[in-house]
Each structure stands twice: as C-alpha cells, then as structure tokens.
Amino acid sequence: MKRTKTSKQWMQEHVNDPWVHRAKAEGYRSRAAFKLTEIDQKDRLLAKGQVVVELGAAPGSWTQVVVKKVMPGGRVFALDLLEFAPIEGVEFIQGDFTEESVLAALEERLGGRAVDLVLSDIAPNISGIATIDQGRSIYLCELALDFAERHLMSGGNMLVKVFQGSGFDEFRKAMGRVFSQVHVRKPAASRDRSSEVYLLGLGKRQ
C-alpha cells in the first residue's frame, strides 16, 4: 500500500518527536504518558490506595503512570478494544466499551467498589469524515461520563479526552451537572495541531 503524503508527514513527525524519544528512554509505551503526568502534577489526581478505572487503556502508557502512583494498596481496572500487554497489578478487560456485555464485565470486576478516579483516553476508529468522527468521539465521552456518574464516589474525579468541535460545549455542560468543577487541560505533550483537549471533572456531586 502506497503511503499518503499525510502518513509520511506523520511518520517524520513521530520519528523526530522529543516526547517519543523521552518515552522510550523512560520505559513508557507511548508519549501519552507525559500528558497524564503533567495533568496529575498540576491537579494531584493520583494517590496511593485509589481505585482507578481507565477506559481506552491501550497501549498502556497511562496505566504505567497510574500503577506507579496508586500502588501499593490501589486497584487498577483497564479496558480497551485492542490487545494490551500485561502490567503487574492491572485487571484488564478486552472489549468494546459501547457493548453492554463488556460494561457488565467491568462492573462485575469492580464488585460494587466505589471508584476514586475515572480516566478516559478513548478515541473512535477514524472514518476520515469529520462530522461522523466527532459524533462518535462525543458519544464515547458521554458513555464514559455516564459510567463515572454511576460508579464514582462522592467527591471523585474524572479526566476525559475530548476533541473540540460539534457537541463539545454541550458535553462540557453535561460534565458541569455531575462535577463541582470542570477545567480544560491541554498538556504540552499534546500536538499543537490536534484538536484534542482533556476535560477534568473535580468533585463529583452527591
């Protein structure tokens, strides 16, 4: 298959990306680790002993950060449609978060435990049609928010990746109905040209 101009540009950018080199040097599975690290340093989301659910966990760089911060004593539940190389201490479920059976499996693993933090770095499979991709992305965010609303303890927090575009403002308002505070975070490791930001919900309302 012939590479497109866009794919060549991405590969060149990836090879020259200092965050990629740093991730390899520090043993992280991807550069995304530094996005969560920066937000955690600013907002102090992670602490020992927490119960954390991570949606869209593959390849596992966020999970590596989480494990270092919540262990020993914490519980980490990770879910993704893609395969996930095991990480000690992580309970992984492979499946599609939009399917009821997969959600039920995750809830069964939780066994009624209240969750301290929900992380969602889920992105939809890209069709290349902007309106469709944005709609799919917001839908996944809404599912993650619904999960957080049902499983987070009072005062718990949520961090979710959102692409700016249609539905963004409405989703931010929806988060505001669930959390006492909602902030936008754009970590340095996010590429400038990307429309991705992270919405941080602090203090789940009772």
> Has residue 13 got a pLDDT over 70?
no
- Summarize the annotated binding site as residue ranges: 60, 62, 80, 96, 121
> Has residue 200 got a pLDDT over 60?
yes
- Summarize the annotated binding site for S-adenosyl-L-methionine as residue ranges: 60, 62, 80, 96, 121
Share of residues in the chain with pLDDT > 70 (%): 91
Q: Are 53 and 115 in contact (CB under 8 A)?
A: yes
Q: What is the pLDDT of residues 85-125, one digit of tens each?
A: 999 999 999 999 999 999 999 999 999 999 999 999 987 67
CA distances from 8 to 3, 12, 13, 15, 27 (A): 6, 6, 9, 11, 26
Q: Which residues does the annotation mark as catalytic? A: 161
**Interval 153-161 mean pLDDT:** 97
What is the overall mean pLDDT for the chain? 89
Q: Would you place residue 4 in the very low, low, confident or very high pLDDT band (cuts 50, 70, 90)?
A: low
Which residue, chain included where needed, has tokens 């969560």? 36
Q: Residue 142 corresponds to which tokens in the numbers above?
A: 């809404």
pTM higher than the cut 0.95? no
- DSSP assignment letter at 95: S
Share of residues in the chain with pLDDT > 90 (%): 68
Quick one: 65 exposed, middle or buried, by C-beta within 10 A (0-12, 13-18, 19+)? buried
Q: Residue 102 corresponds to which tokens in the numbers above?
A: 């997969």
Please tell me the total number of residues recorded for the chain in this structure.
Answer: 206
| Nearest-angstrom CA–CA distance, 190 and 179 | 24
CATH superfamily of 32-204: Vaccinia Virus protein VP39 (3.40.50.150)
Q: What is the pLDDT of residues 33-72, one digit of tens each?
A: 999 999 999 999 999 999 999 999 999 999 999 999 999 9
Q: Are 60 and 88 in contact (CB under 8 A)?
A: no
Longest Cα separation, the chain: 54
**Interval 76-84 mean pLDDT:** 94
